[in-house]
Structure 1
Amino acid sequence: MSESPKTRSERQAQTRDQLIWAAMEVFTDKGFHGASLDEIARHAGFTKGAVYANFAGKDDLFLAVVDRRIEVAFDETEEPDIEIGAGELFELPWATLSLEVILYALRTSPELHRELARRYQQIDQMVSAGLQQTRGVSADEAPTAALVRSALHEGLMIRRLADPDQISAEYAEEVHQAFFDAALAGRAQQTER
């Protein structure tokens, strides 16, 4: 039995999906500024017209990539995954790309900067919910704990970028987990007093 032909909206969603995955690969390989929309389109098997039919431009496509990474990391069918493994949390290509885009947005693209900030807030909210569900952190303290976790991650990510030979992904994850666990344990002890 053959499948029925896809509708126009299904084909467009499939094209958009292929472009996002291709953009993720090209952006992490070439960097934000080094990647061209032509190259991303070719990588996905389309023309640049397909990119502009689905995205307003490079910034919009990058935000779609960020959204996809958030979807994958925080699969809504499961409990929030606040314990992403070291291979994902401290991967150098994504860390490099993230830093590049944050600096670009800060310097030259206020709209992209606002949208990135909104994604960070979304991640913090998801981590906050996860901390409440998996670690028993109170609703009042969870937003601060999520922000501390994010700040610790960002600092270690920058250090790993600066010295990847000294700070492996596994070591960064070990330090991240140890300090975050200690912070939660310390806070729990203060609450008990």
Structure 2
Amino acid sequence: MTQTRVSRAERQQQTRDRLVEVATQMFLDVGYSGTSLDKVAVEAGFSKGAVYSNFAGKEELCMAALDTIHAEKIRLVHEMFTEDTSIETRLKSFVEWSRSGLGEPRWTALEVEFAAVARHNPWVASELVKRHREVRRLIAQLISATVEDAGLETTVPVEHVATALLAVGAGLGGLRALDPKIDMDVFGDVLAGLVRPRRDPAAQ
């Protein structure tokens, strides 16, 4: 039986993936301050040196963990807005997702705690800004494609809609982390209020 040799690059990627997997769970369970590189290394089955060979420090490791969380949430939202269903059904699915996808206590707490690090760490601040801009860009793309497909248009520039939705989502997420009874339907209401039937230029 022939065994497939794993290259050094593949082993390093496997190590990195394992560290991010363990760190993500640990950051969610005990928070940023409660997580140490020593604990992550031990839980993942590696030495602390393995952590430093893949990440410059805890900030970079936490950023990678948040990237993993964000990628999954963006993937789910993208699936909802690209379904072959009516705009009403897509919005309903989106609001249903927001009930569990926004304001999950552990994720929200980690986001807030890590954002506080940005006050004293320019690298963290700049990386968070880059990621927020990318999320807004992806949201704008989804909205543009969705309204075009549905024969609608936005009442304000689509970039403003994306910014508004990101802000409302973050705000509702924070509120919901404290008060689970917050009505998440407001998220869909805000989005619905920012679109309208497409106007016929010839009729103007």
TM-score by length of 1: 0.82
Cα distance change of structure 1 residues 131 and 45 upon mapping to structure 2, 3 Å threshold:
same
5 Å matches for 1:67-86?
67-75=67-75, 79=78, 83=94, 85=97, 86=99
1:91 maps to 2:104: yes
CA shift at 1:191, angstroms? Answer: 6.0
Letter in 2 for 1:133: A
Contact 2:23/2:61 (8 A) holds in 1: yes
Greater alpha carbon shift after TM alignment, 46-55 vs 81-90: 81-90
2:157 to 121, 124, 141: 141
Contact 1:80/1:126 (8 A) holds in 2: no
Letter in 2 for 1:144: H
Q: Helix, strand or coil: the match of 1:54?
A: coil
Letter in 1 for 2:137: Q
Contact 1:41/1:50 (8 A) holds in 2: yes
Q: Helix, strand or coil: the match of 1:34?
A: coil
Cα distance change of structure 1 residues 2 and 129 upon mapping to structure 2, 3 Å threshold:
farther
Q: Give the distance between the partners of 2:199 and 2:116, measured in 1 at CA.
A: 38
Letter in 1 for 2:123: E
Cα distance change of structure 1 residues 81 and 104 upon mapping to structure 2, 3 Å threshold:
farther
**Percent identity among equivalent residues?**
31
Q: Deviations over 1:110-161 (max 9, x none)?
A: 21011111111111111111111123356x8221111000010111112123
Q: Helix, strand or coil: the match of 1:4?
A: coil
1:152 to 168, 171, 177: 168
Greater alpha carbon shift after TM alignment, 115-124 vs 61-70: 61-70
Q: Give the distance between the partners of 1:161 and 1:70, measured in 2 at CA.
A: 17
Q: Give the distance between the partners of 1:34 and 1:191, measured in 2 at CA.
A: 54
Give 1:65's aligned residue. 65
Report which of the two structures shows the higher radius of gyration computed on alpha carbons: 2
RMSD: 2.5
CA shift at 1:190, angstroms? Answer: 9.3
Greater alpha carbon shift after TM alignment, 120-129 vs 152-161: 152-161
Cα distance change of structure 1 residues 81 and 36 upon mapping to structure 2, 3 Å threshold:
farther
Give 1:12's aligned residue. 12
1:23 maps to 2:23: yes
Give 1:52's aligned residue. 52
CA shift at 1:102, angstroms? Answer: 0.8
Letter in 2 for 1:38: D
Give 1:116's aligned residue. 128
Q: Give ranges in structure 1 of 5+ residues lacking alignment.
A: none
Q: Helix, strand or coil: the match of 1:62?
A: helix
Q: Give the distance between the partners of 1:132 and 1:66, measured in 2 at CA.
A: 26
Contact 2:73/2:101 (8 A) holds in 1: no
Contact 2:19/2:44 (8 A) holds in 1: yes
Give 2:34's aligned residue. 34
1:176 maps to 2:192: no
Q: Give ranges in structure 2 of 5+ residues lacking alignment.
A: 82-93
TM-score by length of 2: 0.78
Contact 1:21/1:65 (8 A) holds in 2: yes
Q: Give the distance between the partners of 1:35 and 1:110, measured in 2 at CA.
A: 21
